[in-house]
Structure 1
Amino acid sequence: MRLRASQNKLKIEHSIIDGLRPVLERLLVHDDIRSIIPGVIKPVRDARGAVKIRVTVPTQNGWKAIALSAGARQELFVSTAIPQEELERRIAAALVE
């Protein structure tokens, strides 16, 4: 399967939940974030209101995060070498812009 890319950093293999794409594009402004790959979308009952992103576990080349919005959750794989605290700070800044 061929990945569609936005700015060569946002790899889109699946659709993206409502309101998440602008947040990811603001996050990709930083050069030390190599790429973000959104994963599968699953419906959940507790995902209402504005987009929320929570960094969960480290991966081989970065971090896994969970985005919640519009009654759905979506895994995000962030390829970066920055520590978890810095990534969480940047995510919080991208959410309020």
Structure 2
Amino acid sequence: MSEEIKPTSEVPAAETAAPENPLHTVGFDARFPQQNQTKHCWQSYVDYHKCINLKGEDFAPCKVFWRTYSSLCPVDWVEKWDEQREKGIFPGNVNVE
């Protein structure tokens, strides 16, 4: 038997509610014109951590970098980079000099 599709008016609100952190597509960045966005992911991750180290986590413009790397970077990469930063072996420079 096939499942009956409910009209929108019959779908409970909990099933149609927007997610707390909706996904979005990152806009075009002329520095990264190619299809492969690995460098864009990396640079956004590094820029975010430089920004919060300089201005603090509450500085709103830093959130642009966070949203970008959160959208582009695989979770496994971010977890690995976070571990590397904690151990002091992260290959990028996120310290403000």
Structure with greater Cα Rg: 2
Which has the bigger relative contact order, CA under 8 A and spacing at least 6?
A: 2
Which TM-score bucket, shorter chain as reference? Answer: under 0.3
| Structure richer in strand, relative to its length | 1
TM-score (norm 2): 0.27
TM-score (norm 1): 0.27
